[in-house]
Amino acid sequence: MMDLSRRLFAEWFGTMMLVATVVGSGIMAERLAGGNVAIALLGNTIATGAILVVLISILGPISGAHFNPAVSFAFALRRNIAPRIALLYMVWQITGGLCGTVMAHLMFEEPVFQISAHIRSGMAQYASEFVATFGLLAVIFGGIRFSQTAIPWLVGLYITAAYWFTASTSFANPAVTIARSFTNSFSGISPDNMPFFIIAQLLGAAAASIICGWLFAETHTK
């Protein structure tokens, strides 16, 4: 187990790079897509899935590569991580996400401080976030149980798919949701909608921690 300072830095850095990729690739995709939203979303999707594989591979051995308060919350519920550590992870994840938005804006010469005007409201959106987060935790818990070395690819591929099969484009991450409320670019979300996304994500994480505890439990046959 790495010392706590290295673990917290890994969570900050990983979440920062994840959000910088989500926001930055969204800006790049929107600029290059010529108004074709499907092409812009595809560019955003590929970059996000790819960076998750990379970040989880290199930082997983240090901190577990949560980069997501919903993941830390679910791990705390299952007693895989102490509540105090989970809370510290969440603080550094949220801070890293905000830094990632700033970094993306700086790289693309956008105003550093923005408030998103992108409306993402309605039960379909919130239900999508529940499903997206539940699925993400199911992938993680299933990977831990059956194929730990494949987790970077499992998560990256799941998020790549979930961008397209959920109406919300699968935020599935409270830190990313908060960070994306501070960009008015392609990937943004209005601050008015942000709390409902986060509630749905935490409910999805809680449900996954309970159901996956049963589904992936070790069985003993005679």
Whether the CB-CB separation of 93 and 66 falls below 8 Å is answered with yes
pLDDT of residue 43: 97
Nearest to 189 by CA among 165, 169, 160: 169
pLDDT of residue 220: 62
Nearest to 16 by CA among 47, 45, 55, 70: 55
Whole-angstrom distance, CA of residue 146 vs CA of residue 144? 6
Report the first-to-last Cα separation within the chain, whole angstroms: 35
Whole-angstrom distance, CA of residue 175 vs CA of residue 16? 10
pLDDT of residue 218: 83
Nearest to 172 by CA among 71, 89, 50, 87: 71
Nearest to 66 by CA among 130, 137, 3: 137
Task: Tell the CATH topology of 4-215.
Answer: Glycerol uptake facilitator protein (1.20.1080)
pTM for the predicted model, two decimal places: 0.96
pLDDT of residue 219: 76
Whole-angstrom distance, CA of residue 179 vs CA of residue 191? 10
Classify residue 39 by its DSSP letter: H
pLDDT of residue 2: 73
pLDDT of residue 222: 57
Whether the CB-CB separation of 46 and 160 falls below 8 Å is answered with yes
pLDDT of residue 221: 60
Domain boundaries, the chain: 4-215
Sign of CA dihedral 57, 148, 174, 89: negative
Task: Going from the first residue of the chain to its last (222 residues), give the mean pLDDT of each consecutive group of 10, the final group possibly shorter.
Answer: 90 98 98 96 98 98 97 97 97 98 98 97 98 98 97 98 98 98 97 98 98 89 58
Structure tokens that stand for 215 in this block: 């589904």
